[in-house]
Amino acid sequence: MSEMASDEEENIIPFQLQFDKPIPFQIKIAEWNPEKDLLAMVTEDSKILLHRFNWQRLWTISPGKPVTSLCWRPDGKAIAVGLEDGTISLHDVENGKLLRNLKPHAVAVVCLNWEEDGQSNTDESGNFSVYEDRTSRFFPPAPRAPKMPGLVAGDSSFMDDGEDSLAELSNTSFRKFNVLCSGDRDGSICFSIFGIFQIGKINIHELSVPVPNLDEHASCKLFNASIYKVALSKDLCRLVVMCTGELRDCDIKPREEKLNVQDLPGLHCLAMDTSIFWKRKYELHQVAQQASNIEDLTEVIRASLSVMSKQWADAMKTFHDKFHSLSTLIIDNGLESSPQEEFLSLLGGARISPALNQFLVNSLGEVGVKRVLKSVCGTGKEIQQIVLDHLQPAAEIIGFRMGELRGLSRWRARYQGIGLDEILLNEATENTGLLLVQVQRFMMVLSSVVQQFSNFFNWLVRSIKYLMQEPNDQLLSYNSELLVVFLKFLYDQDPVKDLLEPSEAGDDIEIDLKTIGRVKELLQFGGFSECDFLQRTLAKEFQHMESRYFLHISTS
């Protein structure tokens, strides 16, 4: 027997250290990818490192906030990172680029688990079942978010090739039904289909926990509980939660000295029924893809409004910077007039003041006018193009997708059980239409403002040519009536900015009673259910629309 033991010992190969890779900071989280050939690690200074099996480092990123959890998407193409502030960020494995930020929690995300339905896409009858996205039949490819002017390549991880990565990863993730489960420090657990669309939320403090081995009639709850680990089963039908806390009988009256069930502090393992994910996966798949695509398109609209607002603000700054010196010259010459009055005096043929003459001939000049003209009018055309290429098509596709969800909500036997509310969807669909109405109003205002600025600058060039006694036969003509309107209104007011920026409370657009009355009459013919949209700006209308997009989907 001793000889056999010695022979076996000779054949045993002990564990050997293959690689030793020094890292400046301690590793606090480490997770292998599904293929077990990539290792993602989080250091104490909250940097995320990705290494191959041979310790070759692929990339390092720093989210800028403390990292509290990490997990891989089931196909290994994305990593979910839980942060101290309750955010979950999704990163592309190829280059570490940020693909999406979610904020399902209010406190630190302490654990993550991402599982995919491993079964084939066949329904109960055995028929092959795959969600078909019909949007491409009616619309060109969905627009991307426009780039911020002056943005250097690489400044934003959601731009350039990051968009391609997001589109590719979204397409691959939608092929199979998968659920990301996240737990936070306060005991809340969130479920997100595809990792990007929140489908439900529970809190372990609110659960009634059966304890059959102590008292089958007891109704217990967890107190001071903290989640340690969450794990979905491979078929998505069961969720296991590891947590610490005190298990108490919640039926005991405060004055009773003896408890039916004793306090059970320590580590607890809870098993929850999540079979709705498996039973209704086809319905949830379709709703989640539609809703997540709507969220993508709302990001396009938000980015469009942000870019448009910045571009117009820059153009107006150029205009005011150039024309501010006129006010200074008027004061220096001891005059009590305003710049508008000086321009109107010149337009009416009265004698030009020394201040205005100096401003037009010396301070501004023909070159200065043309630069401001290019800045303001060129920006106006760029903004119009952003609306046509990004904002408007995004709103139109949102309207189509909302219409499909609205139709599904009427299939009550199949979709009402997962929380599709027809009334909420009707409101959301209407608000999409109202946004498109506001887009048209904005385009008309922008076009009018740009035309009036152009008219004003053309007149200034002619005036400067006249003062310089140069021929001006080749110059563009101008409209005196538009010029008077511009000087009385647009010179120191900015209706484009007002429409692009969210209006404050009590700062609504003024609409005359006659117009409101006409709109109310139109409502009787089956139009919109409210006419308050007339008083909202474009940015406010987008916020109003977005606030109606909570689809009230629940797994309860």
For residue 435, pLDDT over 50 is answered with yes
CA distance 268 to 244: 6
- Range name among 159-168, 326-335, 504-513 with the lowest pLDDT average: 159-168
- 38 domain residue, yes or no: no
CA-CA distance, 149 to 306, in Å (whole number)? 11
> Do the beta carbons of residue 314 and residue 457 sit within 8 Å?
no
Q: Please tell me the predicted confidence (pLDDT) of residue 269.
A: 87
Distance, in Å, from the CA atom of 151 to the CA atom of 382, rounded to the nearest integer, reads 16
pLDDT, mean of residues 104-108? 92
- Check pLDDT > 60 for residue 355: yes
pLDDT top residue among 323 and 119: 323
Mean pLDDT of 352-378: 91
Per-residue pLDDT band for 160 (boundaries 50, 70, 90) equals very low
* φ/ψ (deg, to 5) at 503: -80, 145
154 is a domain residue: no
Give percent of the chain with pLDDT exceeding 70.
Answer: 79
1: in domain? no
Residue 169 has a pLDDT of 57
Of the two residues 148 and 282, the one the predictor is more confident about is 282
Rounded to a whole number, what is the largest CA-CA distance in the chain? 123
- Residue 191 pLDDT greater than 90, yes or no: yes
Residues 6 or more apart in contact with residue 56 via CB below 8 angstroms? none
Task: Kindly state the average pLDDT of the residues 80-98.
Answer: 93
* H or E element, residue 426: helix 422-467
Whether residue 334 is contained in a domain is answered as yes
Is the pLDDT at 14 greater than 90? The verdict is no
Confidence of residue 29 (pLDDT cuts 50, 70, 90): very high
| Average pLDDT of span 84-105 | 91
Give the C-alpha separation, 272 to 191, whole Å: 13
- Number of domains observed in the structure of the chain: 1
209 or 5, higher pLDDT: 209
pLDDT score for 542: 84
Reported as a single tens digit per residue, the pLDDT across 309-345 is 999 999 999 999 999 999 999 998 888 889 999 999 8
The answer to whether residue 18 sits within a structural domain is: no
Give 219-229 pLDDT, tens digit per residue.
Answer: 788 888 889 99
Which amino acid is residue 58, in one-letter code?
Answer: L
Cα separation of 60 and 99, whole Å?
16
Q: How far is CA 169 from CA 39, 141, 154, 161, in A?
A: 20, 16, 20, 12
Residue 265 lies in a domain: no
Tell me the mean pLDDT in the region 121-130: 53
* pLDDT score of 157 more than 50: no
Residue 55, in any domain of the structure: no
What per-residue confidence (pLDDT) applies to 428? 85
- 373: containing domain: 282-502+537-547
88-92/98-102 β-pairing: antiparallel
Answer yes or no: is pLDDT of 153 > 70: no
- In this predicted structure, the answer to whether residue 383 has a pLDDT above a threshold of 80 is yes
CA distance 114 to 191: 10
Distance CA 301, CA 184 (A): 31
Count of CB atoms situated within 10 Å of the CB of 236: 24
Query: For residue 149, is it within any domain?
Result: no
**CA nearest neighbour of 425 among 551, 292, 553:** 551
Tokens of residue 513, six digits? 């009673």
pLDDT band at 155 (very low <50, low <70, confident <90, very high): very low
